[in-house]
Each structure stands twice: as C-alpha cells, then as structure tokens.
Structure 1
C-alpha cells in the first residue's frame, strides 16, 4: 500500500505530494506562501508570537478552520488573552494577581469551564484590582470608564451611586439595586454596552480593525444569549474573508508580540514571565521603543543559548531563516548576500540584520 501523508486536511499519496513540491528534501511539509502567511497572522493574533517549526508542520496537515479551532482551545491562547487583560487594567508587577483563583483563569477558559465575562469579573473583583484602584472614587471611575467607556465627569449621579454601593450602602444603578463592590461590578457586566465594548476591543486586538456595525450587532445578540459563545465568535472573525484579506497587509508587531517572537524564533522556546516582564518594562521606559528593540534583540542574538554551528548548506540555512523570521522565502539577492555571510561564519550578524529590518517589525 502506498504511503499516505496528511496535508491541508486530507490524505495524499506521499509520492504525489512530493511531486507537487509540498514535501522538501528533508521530508518536511511545505506550506503554500499564502497559507504560511495566514498561519503566522493567526499565531501572532491568538498566541502573541510566531509559530514554532513543529507548529508549522502541524498546521500544514490541517485546514485553516482546523488550525483556528485547535489554537483557540489551547491554554496558551487564553494565557495571551489574560496577559493582555492584565495589561489593559494595569495589573502589573506588584499588582499582578498571584492567587490560584486568578492564575488558573486561562486553563479554565481553554477547558470551557469559565466564560469570558465571568473571567473578567474575577479580575475586576479581585484584591489586586482593588489595590490598584483604591478608594470608592477611583474604583468606581475605573470600572465605569474601562468596562463601559463612560466619562464619569459627565455622569455625576452614576458615580455617586456607584460610590454608595462600594461603601456598602444600597443604591440603584442602571435600574438594578446593589449594596457592595461585587454588586456594582455584576450590574456593570450585565449591561449591553459592556458586551459591545469587549467584542470591539477583542476584535481590534485580533484583527487590527474595528468590528463592522452589523457584525457587532449580531455578535452582541449571540453573546448576550450565551456567554459561552465568545470562542465561536472569535473563530468566525479569524476565518472571515475580511481577516484573510488583511493577512496580505503588514501589521506592526506590538511590543509584546515582538518580545514573544524573539524568544520563539531565536531560542526556539517561549519566554518565561520574568524574561517577558524585563523586556516589556525596558520597552515601556521610552516614548519611542524602536531603538531599544534592536538592543534587546542583540542580547538574545549574542546569548549562549542561541546555538550557532557551522553552516553546511548556506542556501537551505538562509531559506529556513527567512521562513522562520519573516514568513517568506528569500529573494535571489538575499539568498546570495545572507548565504555568503553564513558561509563566512557571520551567522549572528545575519540574524541581527533581519531583526533590525523594518520588515521584521511587522507580521
């Protein structure tokens, strides 16, 4: 029986697949350029980083829908969401949650035992959020502004009512009665505008664009009826024609994506939280983080953990480097110049040149 290989969601005859150029000389699956570009976009948007080599091979065997479904079920996708939410609420460093009830949120979201609104409620009612926003005025202001997008200075009665609830007194907010911080947060999270803002904010994070009004209306109705529907809504965004069209355009990496990608592409592993935190804080210290990106990258390029061996096949090495770091094959000129650098033993310099390029700043 002829050997069969899974590629693009179906089984192929191994010889047929090789003849079609979908398997290289090393026996590795080769994704079509547009499929690799899509995989990189989805990986950056869901995981906050580029895909590992093993993940490229796994995705090559799947359809796009299968890849998106698999990635949205991974704890890492929800760890990335969680970290971005902590950043949004400025729960950093000394205010970073440390109790299992909060640190296990990504695993619960991945398992489907916790909904996204419930996860956000856990964050906002936590002692860490309270410490970050001490006092009734600050707490209520941040809750109303960040969860509902309100300008509290224009809503003095709502602010006064929220402060009463915070202090343990009965008050009526948006037609509902409450008498505690937890009541205040619960009432706010039940508002339609909260769902609208969450969906729009997440859509912008994942796709780089505002959610179309008709899509927003449809998604709000769906999530309002079933809070567990958010992951399915997210998958629809990532498989939408508009998202696939945007995959053809270069989007600038956020500082967080830049850091995570450096570790994956240079060291072949994810950054630890402490490594990520140190790099993030360094980038945050400057109004223009561009120059410091090159400095931080050089720290990894020059590190002992980046294993540099003599290059035996310079063309193959350059091809692998460009696919891994830029998601495309090198041009003839790049193949020649980078191949010469590698052959002359200047591997680290070649890697640094890519990291310093304007193209590497996007995905």
Structure 2
C-alpha cells in the first residue's frame, strides 16, 4: 500500500464542478482582482471566525506583515514569537524593521512557553505574536492577561489553525488581529497563494486595506505608501466554495488523529496531548522519536510519505543566525531532531492510518 502525505484529489473531487463554474464565471465577467467576490468571501470568513472584519491579501506572510504595519510596528520595536515556527513569521517581523525575539516552546503543547514569553518582554516590546502551530491554539488566556498588564498588542499567527477552537473561541478572534494563510496544503487552501487578516478593530482594517492596495482606496489617489498584496477574485470564489466544507474536513482530521493517538500511544514514540479546553484541527499530525530519520526511511521503504516540520530552527539558519547560537532554545532544537509528520488529510481512511501505525509498531519492535 502507498499512503500519501496529502491527497488533494480526495478533497477537491466532490467540488470539481463548482470549481469549474467559478473559473467560467471569472473568465466571463473579467473580474480578476478584488471586487465583490473578494468582499463576499471576506464577509463569510469573518463570520466563520467570529470577527467583524476580514481583509484578503496575497499570502499568509503578507497578512502577518501588514498586520504588524497596521499596528505601527517598525524599527526600534521588538516582537516576541515562538522559536519553532515556520520562517514566514519571523520574516514578516523583520520586514517591518523590528527585531524578532524568539522564545522556546512548551514541551507538551509545542506552542510558545508563557513564562519564557513574559521573561522576554522589554521596554521595546510592542507585539506578542503567538503561533497556533500544527492546528493547536496557544495559551491565549495567559497571553491576553500578559498583554493587558503590559500594554501590548497581540497578533495571532493562525496560518495552520483554520477553525481551531480555544474555550469556544475561534483561532484568530482572540487578539488584536489574526492572520491566515491559504497556501494549498492548509486546512482551507487556495489553488495558489492567498491570505487573510481578521479583526474587530476598524482602525486596523482601514490601514490594512490601504496597505494591500498601493495605499489607495480610490484609484490613482494614494494616501500612504502601500503594497501590492491583493487576494485575486478567482481564489476568493474557489475558497468561498470550499469554506462550507471546512468544519467537516477538520472533523475528519480529528477522527484520524484519534486513531493515530490510540494506536501509537504505547508504540515507542511521543504522540500529541489532547486538551479538554481546545479543539485542534490537526493541520499536521506529529510524533516524536530520537530515531526520527531511521523511522522516516523505514516508512518510505514501505510506501508511506512523511514530512518534517521543521528540520532547522530559525536561529540556526544562515538568514537569522543572529537570533541565537546553538543551545539557545534547547527544546526547539531537540524537537527539530525528533519531529515527524505523518499522513494527515480529510478523507484518509482507517485502513491507511492502521497501515502507517503497524509499520511504526514494527519499527520499534526491531
């Protein structure tokens, strides 16, 4: 048996006719950038997240960058985020001229360590930027308490957490702004790149809308120095078609995760912990083992595709080596050598999951 890491065909096949119709409508109308289809999807996505506003942009990275700018972040400021995040989070901070401040992670949740975050705050800190990694929301109550006491803003990196819940609230709806990516492999993915900012703050939405479109509301009249970061009409139509299916897709991921956890709990690897106050959406299902590379090769030989998210911590990359030397973030470094992402997508069958699990059990019995 072959088990893919991700299978877009199973996700998209039931909606194929709707996708084709969206393409035909777009080509017939000739509306390719922004316009009413983007506004409609923005409204639907804002409602889904439980927010007043949503602003479609070019990517998840752009969503983070423009949100930071909308909050006035710039040179001389510091933004605190998780050391184990994808590099886009840190790139967005660096683009503003601010200094990214990395914090190691909670060894159980894989999200930013709260005590470490509080310790990292200085008089230059302007924003706390928690990352809801793998589809599990960070400890937002504690983060909000810290932000309130210290007078800081919060931007949620929810690029892997579409639809995740924390104490009944959606990812993206608990900070000053929430940022999403519609990269194709995300829980809600486009057929190209795209991103979204959600917020209840009218000042943020006004600034972000200016920034995404050359600093302009009226064509050729530019109020500020903006950018070209616009969600295109076709992607908006396609995403709007997919949005009603997101809850079901996330439930499919949770069912798959339940099987993985049950089967692998005593297999010899570490599986994710399940928390009663969260409803994770398992953008990725990760396990940990000191024999990660050998296990990955063992699975590949038997037809199972896997991934590593992420193999090189940001502070150990050439691009951001100034953020910390070896050993600066010990848990992040340890996990980068141990983490393995197993096949996870809507529609993965129990047969496929059990096949993967049986191979893993066989590996640890050797």
Flag the structure with more relative contact order, 1 or 2, with Cα contacts below 8 A and sequence separation at least 6: 2
Going by fraction, where is helix more abundant, 1 or 2?
Answer: 1
TM-score (norm 1): 0.23
Larger of the two Rg values belongs to structure: 1
TM-score (norm 2): 0.23
Going by fraction, where is strand more abundant, 1 or 2?
Answer: 2
